[in-house]
């Protein structure tokens, strides 16, 4: 159903009665019912319609799912697989990062369906291209838990360690793995963006050369 008059949508924080991060109107991801721009919570990654006369008022949808739907309908993929990576603000944008026309890269968020794909078909979380089953890299913490549960190419791990502030602060390290080295906890579901948690099954040699050369990875 299409709303017959144009109504400026209220802020999500006003609907919820709480203070929230500034919402971003997304004309490229309009409400399917009233066709007005939906509002994006850039921290939580939810899109909602703010039109009080729309039946979809405040009904949320994950932004990654709506981006996939838009691409399936013919919109351009703003973060396609490939190497080298596109850049925003001087930083390379990982394939797993949702990107909208209105808000740009949502750096703190992960594209749920792409992470499922990376886990199930063994493709790189940074560039989206296939990894070799017998030779890939994961970035782990001191307990062997993967920071993001998906493989990387060596070059992509070097890049991630060089430019990601969170990884630099955490003391994460890169280790070489095969698929047999990964212990996965939990199920995956592409439609829901449900992903498994990974950890390495045994102590693996630290790829110290990646960390040592990470500073030279930024072009």
Distances (CA, A) of 18 to 11, 14, 42, 86, 108: 10, 7, 16, 36, 22
Residues facing residue 100 across a β-bridge: 104
Q: Is the pLDDT of residue 95 over 80?
A: yes
Q: Is the pLDDT of residue 2 over 70?
A: no
d(CA 52, CA 115): 34
- Give the pLDDT score at 202: 58
Q: Is the pLDDT of residue 205 over 90?
A: no
Looking at every residue in the chain, the average pLDDT score rounds to 83
CA angle, 70 then 38 then 36, to 5° = 95
Q: Pick the residue with more confidence: 1 or 94?
A: 94
d(CA 25, CA 9): 9
User: For residue 90, how far is the Cα from the chain centroid?
Assistant: 18
- Cα-trace Rg, the chain: 19
Task: Provide the strand spans (E) within the chain.
Answer: 24-30, 37-41, 46-48, 61-62, 87-88, 91-92, 99-100, 104-105, 136-140, 173-177, 182-185, 197-200
- Give the pLDDT score at 66: 97
d(CA 103, CA 44): 13
Distances (CA, A) of 23 to 9, 30, 49: 11, 14, 11
> Do the bridges between strand 61-62 and strand 46-48 make them parallel or antiparallel, or are there none, so unpaired?
antiparallel
Find, among 181, 178, 165, 176, the residue nearest to 214 by Cα: 165
- Give the pLDDT score at 83: 97
Q: Is the pLDDT of residue 84 over 70?
A: yes
Condensed to tens digits (0 to 9), the pLDDT of residues 142-159 reads: 888 898 999 999 999 999
Which of the given ranges, 2-16, 98-112, 193-207, has the highest pLDDT on average? Answer: 98-112
Which of the given ranges, 4-8, 108-112, 207-211, has the highest pLDDT on average? Answer: 108-112
Average pLDDT over residues 34-63: 94
Confidence of residue 191 (pLDDT cuts 50, 70, 90): confident
Q: Are the beta carbons of 155 and 173 closer than 8 angstroms?
A: no
């Amino acid at each position: 159903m299409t709303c017959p008059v144009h109504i400026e949508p209220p802020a999500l924080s006003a609907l919820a009665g709480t203070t929230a991060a500034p919402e971003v109107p997304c004309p490229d991801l309009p409400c399917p019912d009233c066709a007005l721009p939906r509002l994006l919570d850039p921290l939580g990654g939810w899109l909602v319609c703010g039109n009080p006369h729309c039946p979809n008022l405040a009904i949320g949808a994950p932004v990654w799912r709506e981006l996939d739907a838009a691409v399936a309908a013919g919109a351009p993929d703003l973060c396609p697989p490939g190497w080298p990576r596109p850049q925003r603000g001087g930083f390379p944008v990982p394939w797993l990062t949702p990107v909208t026309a209105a808000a740009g890269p949502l750096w703190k968020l992960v594209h749920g369906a792409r992470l499922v794909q990376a886990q199930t078909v063994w493709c790189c979380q940074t560039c989206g291209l296939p990894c070799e089953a017998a030779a890939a890299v994961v970035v782990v913490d001191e307990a062997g838990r993967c920071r993001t549960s998906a493989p990387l190419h060596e070059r992509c791990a070097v890049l991630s360690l060089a430019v990601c502030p969170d990884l630099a602060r955490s003391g994460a390290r890169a280790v070489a793995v095969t698929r047999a080295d990964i212990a996965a906890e939990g199920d995956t579901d592409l439609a829901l963006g449900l992903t498994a948690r990974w950890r390495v099954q045994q102590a693996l040699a630290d790829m110290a050369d990646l960390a040592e050369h990470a500073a030279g990875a930024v072009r």
